């Protein structure tokens, strides 16, 4: 530990830099390099030149150099650069034989080294040893036939020597190895340099077989076109199209072929070619084809041709969509709409058949809703466009055979089929279709459609039978009962219509009984059978005490032109008010009283108006305790309630509490007045209670009439609201409002005295 501590003490401390600001003169790396170059610090002096004066000295020099080269080779004979340097040194001394020997020794070490062969052959060519060079190239291409550089150098040497036959022979040897495309082009260009077009054509024939690519066929055709062989060029294009077939079509081939025909002014051939290609190439692979076709039609076509281009483009788009998802019925609809606009019937039928073959995989109606319109459109197309009734009938029949009627059906198909048969003047067939539909899968829409059909044909006996079937199938359908009765009314059979209504209201289950009763009542009113109408209202009121029934009953009595109509109407309002006292819906009772008030305002006297006014309720605000679903306390809720005078008289607790509350308020006001030095006579609780519960109605004026006419069920006649608190009991609510109306002084004093005596 001591030695470690001593060692730590011996470490010199690093000097702290106090001034960290940048120096005034900054030295850059560029400046350092420039100074080093100027001073020539890295330049070494050249070795001293040695002058050889005699042959002996030269031999000594050669011996030393050869010994050095041999030593280097002996140390690492796999380093080919040492061999090449040694051979090049011997070559510089014109020692060709020695250099040749070195190269041969090097090839024994590594005969696959490309650089070694190239240097060896170049040495022989520089020294004009042609046969030696040929020998080396032959050996090289025999050992390494896939090295294209050897072939290029060899053919170039033979061509430079003017040995065309030898060069051609080398090319032929090369082509046997089926090299890359550039080698074939070199051979073709060699033949073209010597005007050997036929031989170049033969090479192209072999070339497109070895490298069967579209661009090579196009080059072959353009070669023929360039040399004026138009027929040969067209034949090459046709062979290329046939060679690739429909499985490997390429848009570039058709574009080149079309451009060739365009230069030859064969516009019809170009158009046919573009259409042929567009029908067989997928859309995403034919963008350039579409572009060129459009440009061609713009240059040489008419309006019809340009439209064909657009249609074919959209057709390809839809084909791709339906191939991706055959159950995409919206894409089929768009595709069919396009085909119908511009195609022959056979093509349209083919597309329709393809579309309807994609049956929904699940037998649920929601999956069939879009699919069924394919059949409908198909049938309408055959009927309206092609005008083939027999085929239309077959389409409808095939569709009906396909639908699983035991699970669901489509009434529109049956109705359209029957309407089609009627248009074909086949009434018996139409009835047979509808009869089959009702027998297999009776539905409301089917029965309604069949009845409507027979009504249009004025077959009323059949309509009666159909209505009977309909009511057997669905006796709770009020609309059917009403339509049946209306039919009998139109036919003048009133007793039969009345009997139908009687049967209808006697049904145990009805979907809209109020509509049925209203129709029955309106029927009796139209027949001016007022006694029957009153009986109907009474029978209806035995079933329901709804306020709208009472109001309708009263208005009915008012509408009859009789001397005692007002008395009867008032009597109905009286009965309605009595019967609705026990009604829990206070808004309905208020609605009745407002209707009664309107009646009295128009036809009544002051006494009857006052009587109705006294029956109107008072609107008060209350609070009630809320309880959550788990039974916990959820706070308090304010709501509005109506207190009718008749109900308030039957609730003594409410009356007593209201009187006590008013008395307490009056006491507080009296105390405040005494503090101010004023004497105010006290008002008894009875007087306050009277003024609060019986607020007077304001005098009728145009403004009040407008307010009353615009009010709803919640319209009240009190001048201010009272607030009640029913935290413990709704009946023990207390009123917090004061009345604005006061009676005369004498009446108040009498009431106050009587209330004090009751307390004492």
pLDDT in tens, 664-678: 888 888 877 665 544
What whole-number distance in Å separates Cα of residue 662 and Cα of residue 292? 99
Report which of 106, 110, 76 is spatially closest to residue 88, judged by C-alpha positions.
106
Beta carbons within 8 Å of 736's beta carbon, 6+ residues apart: 661, 722, 723, 724
Between 565 and 22, residue with greater pLDDT: 22
Beta carbons within 8 Å of 449's beta carbon, 6+ residues apart: 411, 414, 415, 418, 434
| pLDDT tops 60 at residue 461 | yes
What whole-number distance in Å separates Cα of residue 130 and Cα of residue 124? 7
For residues 578-598, give the mean pLDDT. Answer: 74
The region, left, alpha or beta by phi > 0 then psi within -120 to 50, assigned to residue 678 is beta
Sign of the torsion formed by the C-alpha atoms of 51, 52, 58 and 63: negative
For residue 538, what pLDDT is reported?
72
For residues 225-242, give the mean pLDDT. Answer: 87
- Tell me the residue length of the chain: 760
H/E segment holding residue 561: none
| pLDDT tops 60 at residue 258 | yes
| pLDDT tops 50 at residue 350 | yes
Q: How confident is the model at residue 11 (pLDDT cuts 50, 70, 90)?
A: low
Report which of 205, 140, 138 is spatially closest to residue 170, judged by C-alpha positions.
138
What whole-number distance in Å separates Cα of residue 217 and Cα of residue 181? 12
Minimum mean pLDDT range among 87-91, 242-246, 495-499:
495-499
Provide the whole-model pTM: 0.44
What whole-number distance in Å separates Cα of residue 279 and Cα of residue 662? 97
Whether 375 contacts 399, CB under 8 Å: yes
pLDDT, one tens digit per residue, over 640-695 is: 777 777 665 556 555 666 677 788 888 888 877 665 544 333 333 333 333 333 33
DSSP label at residue 383: I
Whether 716 contacts 617, CB under 8 Å: yes
Minimum mean pLDDT range among 217-231, 262-276, 595-609, 715-729:
715-729
For residue 293, what pLDDT is reported?
67
Domain count, the chain: 1
Structure tokens at 178: 């089926």
Whether 123 contacts 87, CB under 8 Å: yes
For residue 661, what pLDDT is reported?
74
Whether 687 contacts 752, CB under 8 Å: yes
Q: How confident is the model at residue 510 (pLDDT cuts 50, 70, 90)?
A: low
For residue 563, what pLDDT is reported?
73
Whether 264 contacts 300, CB under 8 Å: no
Residue 653 lies in a domain: yes
Greatest mean pLDDT range, 164-173, 269-278, 356-365, 547-556: 164-173
For residue 649, what pLDDT is reported?
53
What percentage of the chain has pLDDT greater than the value 90?
13
For residue 390, what pLDDT is reported?
86
Residue 632 lies in a domain: yes
For residue 469, what pLDDT is reported?
72
Nearest 5°: the CA angle 321, 323, 325 is 70
Q: Which domain holds residue 636?
A: 620-663
| pLDDT tops 80 at residue 230 | yes
Q: How confident is the model at residue 271 (pLDDT cuts 50, 70, 90)?
A: confident
What percentage of the chain has pLDDT greater than the value 70?
68
Residue 200 lies in a domain: no
| pLDDT tops 80 at residue 383 | yes
For residue 760, what pLDDT is reported?
37
Between 291 and 372, residue with greater pLDDT: 372
Minimum mean pLDDT range among 257-261, 535-539, 620-624, 701-705:
701-705
CA 80 to chain centre: 70
For residue 728, what pLDDT is reported?
37
Residue 726 lies in a domain: no
Q: What are phi and psi of 700, to 5 degrees?
A: -65, 130
Q: How confident is the model at residue 117 (pLDDT cuts 50, 70, 90)?
A: very high
Q: Name the average pLDDT for the chain.
A: 74
What whole-number distance in Å separates Cα of residue 416 and Cα of residue 404? 18
Greatest mean pLDDT range, 195-199, 460-464, 494-498, 725-729: 195-199
3-state class of 634 per DSSP?
Answer: strand
Minimum mean pLDDT range among 117-126, 453-462, 671-680:
671-680
Whether 379 contacts 389, CB under 8 Å: no
| pLDDT tops 50 at residue 708 | no
Residue 320 lies in a domain: no
Residue 294 lies in a domain: no
What whole-number distance in Å separates Cα of residue 300 and Cα of residue 269? 12
For residue 153, what pLDDT is reported?
92
| pLDDT tops 60 at residue 6 | no
Residue 636 lies in a domain: yes
Minimum mean pLDDT range among 202-206, 309-313, 349-353, 597-601:
309-313
Q: How confident is the model at residue 574 (pLDDT cuts 50, 70, 90)?
A: confident
| pLDDT tops 90 at residue 154 | yes
Burial class (CB in 10 A: 0-12, 13-18, 19+), 204: buried
Residue 643 lies in a domain: yes
């Amino acid at each position: 530990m001591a030695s470690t501590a001593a060692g730590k003490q011996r470490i010199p401390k690093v000097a702290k830099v106090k001034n960290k600001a940048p120096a005034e003169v900054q030295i850059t790396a560029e400046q350092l390099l420039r100074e080093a170059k100027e001073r020539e610090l890295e330049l070494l002096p050249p070795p001293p030149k040695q002058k050889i004066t005699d042959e002996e000295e030269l031999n000594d020099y050669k011996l030393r150099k050869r010994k050095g080269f041999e030593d280097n080779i002996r140390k690492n004979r796999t380093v080919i650069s040492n061999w090449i340097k040694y051979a090049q040194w011997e070559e510089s001394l014109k020692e060709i034989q020695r250099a040749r020997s070195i190269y041969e020794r090097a090839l024994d070490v590594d005969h696959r080294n490309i650089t070694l062969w190239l240097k060896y052959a170049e040495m022989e060519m520089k020294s004009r040893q042609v046969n030696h060079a040929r020998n080396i190239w032959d050996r090289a291409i025999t050992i390494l036939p896939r090295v294209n550089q050897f072939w290029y150098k060899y053919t170039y040497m033979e061509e430079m020597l003017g040995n065309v036959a030898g060069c051609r022979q080398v090319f032929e040897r090369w082509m046997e190895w089926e090299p890359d495309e550039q080698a074939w082009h070199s051979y073709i260009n060699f033949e073209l340099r010597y005007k050997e077009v036929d031989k170049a054509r033969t090479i192209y024939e072999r070339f497109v077989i070895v490298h069967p690519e579209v661009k090579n066929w196009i080059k072959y055709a353009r070669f023929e076109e360039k040399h004026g062989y138009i027929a040969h060029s067209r034949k090459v294009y046709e062979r290329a199209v046939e060679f690739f077939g429909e499985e490997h079509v390429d848009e570039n081939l058709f574009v080149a072929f079309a451009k060739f025909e365009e230069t030859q002014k064969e516009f019809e051939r170009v158009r046919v070619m573009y259409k042929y290609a567009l029908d067989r190439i997928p859309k995403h692979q034919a963008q350039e084809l579409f572009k060129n076709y459009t440009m061609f039609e713009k240059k040489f076509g008419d309006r019809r041709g340009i439209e064909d281009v657009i249609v074919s483009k959209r057709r390809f788009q839809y084909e791709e969509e339906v191939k991706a998802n055959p159950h995409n019925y919206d894409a089929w609809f768009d595709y069919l709409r396009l085909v119908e606009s511009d195609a022959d019937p056979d093509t349209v039928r083919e597309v329709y058949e393809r579309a309807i073959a994609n049956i929904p995989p699940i037998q649920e109606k929601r999956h069939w809703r879009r699919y069924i319109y394919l059949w409908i459109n198909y049938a309408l197309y055959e009927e309206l466009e092609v005008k083939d009734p027999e085929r239309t009938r077959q389409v409808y029949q095939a569709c009906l055979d396909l639908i699983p009627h035991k699970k669901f059906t489509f009434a529109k198909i049956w109705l359209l089929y029957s309407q089609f048969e009627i248009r074909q003047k086949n009434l018996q067939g139409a009835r047979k279709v509808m009869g089959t539909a009702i027998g297999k899968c009776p539905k409301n829409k089917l029965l309604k459609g069949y009845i409507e059909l027979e009504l249009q044909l004025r077959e009323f006996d059949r309509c009666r039978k159909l209505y009977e079937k309909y009511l057997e199938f669905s006796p709770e359908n009020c609309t059917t009962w009403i339509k049946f009765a209306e039919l009998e009314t139109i036919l003048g059979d009133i007793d039969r219509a009345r009997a139908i209504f009687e049967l209808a209201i006697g049904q145990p289950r009805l979907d809209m009984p109020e509509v049925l009763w209203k129709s029955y009542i309106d029927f009796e009113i139209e027949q001016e059978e007022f006694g029957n109408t009153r009986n109907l209202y009474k029978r209806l009121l035995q079933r329901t005490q709804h306020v709208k029934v009472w109001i309708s009953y009263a208005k009915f009595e008012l509408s009859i032109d009789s001397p005692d109509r007002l008395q009867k109407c008032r009597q109905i309002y009286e009965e309605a008010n009595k019967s609705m006292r026990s009604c829990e819906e206070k808004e309905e009772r208020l609605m009745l009283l407002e209707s009664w008030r309107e009646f009295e305002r128009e036809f009544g006297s002051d006494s009857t108006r006052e009587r109705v006014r006294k029956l109107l309720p008072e609107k008060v605000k209350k609070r009630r305790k809320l309880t959550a679903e788990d039974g916990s306390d959820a706070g308090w809720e304010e709501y509005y309630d109506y207190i009718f005078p008749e109900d308030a008289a039957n609730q003594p607790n409410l009356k007593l509490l209201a009187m006590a509350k008013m008395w307490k308020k009056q006491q507080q006001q009296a105390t405040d007045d005494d503090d101010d030095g004023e004497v105010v006579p006290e008002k008894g609780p009875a007087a306050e209670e009277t003024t609060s519960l019986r607020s007077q109605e304001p005098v009728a004026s145009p403004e009040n009439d407008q307010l009353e006419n615009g009010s709803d069920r919640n319209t009240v006649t009190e001048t201010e609201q009272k607030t009640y608190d029913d935290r413990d009991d709704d009946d023990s609510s207390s009123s917090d409002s004061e009345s604005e109306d006061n009676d005369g002084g004498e009446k108040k004093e009498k009431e106050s005295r009587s209330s004090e005596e009751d307390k004492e």
